[in-house]
Amino acid sequence: PEGGDKSWGEAWGLSEPGVGTPWRLERPPEEELPTVQSRRWARALRALTTVLLFSLILGSSLVLWAYIPGCRPRPCETLVCWNLLERYLASENRNVAPCTDFFSFACGNNNRTRNSFQELAEENKNRLRRILEAPSSWHLAPGKEKAFQFYNSCMDTGAIEAAGAGPLRQVIEELGGWPVSGNWTPLDFNQTLSLLMSQYGHFPFFRAYLRPLPIPPHTPVIQIDQPEFDVPLKQKQEMKIYAQIVREYLTYLNQLGTLLGGDPSQVQQHASMSISITSQLLQFLRPQEQRRAQGKLFQVVTIGQLQEMAPVIDWLSCLQAIFTPMSLNPSHFIAVHDLEYLKNMSRLIEKELSKHREFLQSHMILGLVGTLSPALDSKFQEARRSLSQKLGELTGGPPVPTQPRWMTCMEEMEAFFEPTLAALFVQEVFSPSTQSAAMELFTAIKDALIARLQSLPWMDEETQREAQDRITKLQVNMGAPEWALKPDPATQEYDDMQLGPSFLQSFLSGIRSSRARIIRSFLQPFPSHRWHVSPWRVNAYYSISDHVVVFPAGLLQPPFFHPGYPRAVNYGAAGSIMAHELLHIFYQLLLPGGCPACDSHALQEALQCLERHYAGFPLPSGISFNGSYSFLEDAADTGGLAIALQAYNKRLLRYRGETTLPNQDLSPQQLFFRSYAQVMCKDPNFQDPQDTHSPAILRTHGPVSNSPAFARHFHCPPGAPMNPSIRCQLW
């Protein structure tokens, strides 16, 4: 104590100096000597107690000092952590208070807008590029060297420019020629259509593909769907915008005709008729929402029945050409997504065949040129890029960047050589130790969800047991399909792939080879799950039909995941993504009537609370929020973050030795939330109308502000935007 004149008792306020103890008793004179002796013993005892207490404190301090390095987070000084720190510093804005605007704190660097998912996708393409540009580094199985040869051929722009439009004119001649060129030998319409679809990958009037049905037993079936149109015309579109789009598309078609050597006046007429055919086909389309409301997302019919309803197409011969070596007959069942469209399409083609057969041929040829433009010379590619740019400006879409040649070639490689690229990509970036670490994280997230299900106030006990059972029976595919993780070196993937003499011919051979490979895979015994994404993609998903959740290797990469990262990073980023996908297993419970045995009042209160919670945050000008449209994703975001945090907290209780990023004043818990926000970094001023997620700002602010732990660890004052007085408990 200061001054050194207080006893231990005085120092702790147990007595007052200079004042006798109030309960002190007067003693007779004969007891004075023993009292003095007793006091001496008391002083000795007090001194001994002081020494013992000091020794105990000193010993405890030494013990604590020995354990502090294991408890206090130490900086991660590895290269991967320094690289992660560089990413964080490049995106964050420390001038913004995290309790006020956590999205801007993490993602608000004014010098550069970073989209974490897009950047990761581009980095994965760069990894593939490095693989393809160093073929000598790999031991290739027989046949797989064709992938490298194709890439080199695609990159040989000198040879492609020298060939010009010659290879394309040869393809057109194989289809009977083009009326505008004057060299036209009309083939049977169905013969031309079969060649277009089976040999050249162009589907001008409808799409046909092989895919499992979306309902049990999920058997593979031929599906007939609407075509994909180059021009974004809509049934309900402002006339001024409609006219501008038509003008731009007409300019593009005229350019194609000129590049093919057509007479400008004839090209103009045929291009106008092609737009007229496209416009009429677009009028026949019915939006998916309308078909869903009518309970007609698809109808199962036989090929013979479809022949009667849309007779102008020779369905059996066309489908047989596309899906060789399948054996088809009129009794074969197929799934049709919009039967009314096919009926109207058949009538339109029949009318055009009787009056303007040459215009129908031009329509198919011009569409084919657009499909093949990636394999043509720079004049065709520039015409295509210019069209995309101008249509994007008219429809409010994002700008179309001029991408380097290697990226164009990579996109074609993805379609034609996926087996080879998948095996090489996994070998490069997803080692067994990385897969093991990812599975360990997923197990922790899954266990946290199972534990959390037991405390949900709106879920009854029976539903809780069923939900836990569904989680227990869930399958997980991590990294890549089995065939990529353990490729068969004896497999000859590309026997039917013929390279040259021009790159266009190699491109067309790739179209045929990849389709045949897909068909062969569907004809084999049905596996437990067919991946919907390539291993280098960044899209995780839950498959309802197979009850499997998929996390591709391309997603489990920096900055979302790395075995050498601080665990707070992996749990906050990859862990929250995993929990988000797991919650999609139960999306049906959140829909009206989806959980009859649950407390519907408590559930609706939680859902309405969450919608009000999200709607309370300000958004940039021009960005809208529709809670009824995004509520399933909002629920998965908010619950995913809470489950990942619960799993991380459990991990902290069991293990010591946490690390954090160097030169940062972030605790592990703060780093957890910081890493979650990094996942959501995206241009706040852009909104994709087709995206069912909330805007990026809400995907950050909604979940973190609903977490009391965030406010506690960032010391947010009550009433701050990230520390509201009311929070919602859905998951």
Q: Residue 418's closest CA among 333, 515, 496, 324? A: 515
Residue 4: pLDDT band with limits 50, 70, 90? very low
Quote the DSSP letter at residue 373.
G
Structural domain of residue 633, as residue ranges? Answer: 79-114+444-473+552-713
20 domain-assigned: no
Give the 3-state secondary structure of residue 561.
coil
650 domain-assigned: yes
Query: Pseudo-torsion of CA 684, 690, 694, 697, nearest 10°?
Result: -10
> Which tens digits make up the pLDDT trace of 594-628?
999 999 999 999 999 999 999 999 998 888 888 88
289 and 173 assigned to the same domain: yes
Count CA atoms within 13 Å of residue 306 on its CB side: 29
- pLDDT at position 34, please? 39
- pLDDT at position 66, please? 33
What is the distance between the alpha carbons of residues 110 and 112, in angstroms, rounded to a whole number?
A: 6
- pLDDT at position 294, please? 62
> Which tens digits make up the pLDDT trace of 351-377?
999 988 899 999 999 999 989 998 999
Least confident of 6-20, 237-251, 495-509: 6-20
The residue whose two tokens read 């020995």 is 66
CATH of the domain at 213: 1.10.1380.10
676 and 703 assigned to the same domain: yes
What is the distance between the alpha carbons of residues 189 and 311, in angstroms, rounded to a whole number?
A: 13
Give the 3-state secondary structure of residue 479.
strand
Give the rounded percent of residues in the chain with a pLDDT score beyond 90: 61
Residue 528: pLDDT band with limits 50, 70, 90? low
- pLDDT at position 237, please? 62
Domain boundary among 348, 375, 402: 375
Considering 101, 581, 634, 658, which one is annotated as catalytic? 581
591 domain-assigned: yes
Could you give phi then psi for residue 113, rounded to 5 degrees? -95, 120
197 and 257 assigned to the same domain: yes
Query: Pseudo-torsion of CA 366, 367, 373, 378, nearest 10°?
Result: 30
Structure tokens at 555: 């997603």
> Which tens digits make up the pLDDT trace of 386-427?
998 898 888 777 677 788 999 999 988 988 999 889 989 999
597 and 638 assigned to the same domain: yes
308 and 276 assigned to the same domain: yes
Structure tokens at 284: 């026949």
Domain boundary among 375, 396, 416: 375
Provide the domain count of the chain.
3
Structure tokens at 662: 């160097």
Give the 3-state secondary structure of residue 606.
helix
Amino acid 588 reads Q
83 and 48 assigned to the same domain: no
Looking at the predicted structure, is the pLDDT value of residue 565 above 90?
yes
Count CA atoms within 13 Å of residue 358 on its CB side: 14
298 and 180 assigned to the same domain: yes
51 and 175 assigned to the same domain: no
171 and 103 assigned to the same domain: no
Q: Cite the beta strand spans of 655-715 per DSSP E.
A: 659-660
Quote the DSSP letter at residue 25.
P
311 and 224 assigned to the same domain: yes
What is the distance between the alpha carbons of residues 202 and 168, in angstroms, rounded to a whole number?
A: 14
180 and 241 assigned to the same domain: yes
467 domain-assigned: yes
Residue 23: pLDDT band with limits 50, 70, 90? very low
Q: How far is CA 163 from CA 10, 141, 168, in A?
A: 100, 32, 9
Asked if 637 is an active-site residue, the reply is yes
The residue whose two tokens read 């769907």 is 225
Considering 412, 493, 611, 637, which one is annotated as catalytic? 637
Average pLDDT over residues 481-508: 82
583 domain-assigned: yes
Domain boundary among 315, 341, 375: 375
Least confident of 33-42, 306-315, 377-386, 431-440: 33-42
> Residue 74: in which H helix or E strand, if any?
strand 74-75
CATH of the domain at 583: 3.40.390.10
269 domain-assigned: yes
pTM of this prediction exceeds 0.75: yes
Length of the chain: 731
448 and 310 assigned to the same domain: no
Asked if 581 is an active-site residue, the reply is yes
685 domain-assigned: yes
- pLDDT at position 35, please? 40
- pLDDT at position 490, please? 52
- pLDDT at position 31, please? 32
SS (H, E, C) 496-552: CCCCCCCHHHHHHHHHHHHHHHHHHHHHCCCCCCCCCCCCCCCCCEEECCCCEEEEE
544 domain-assigned: no
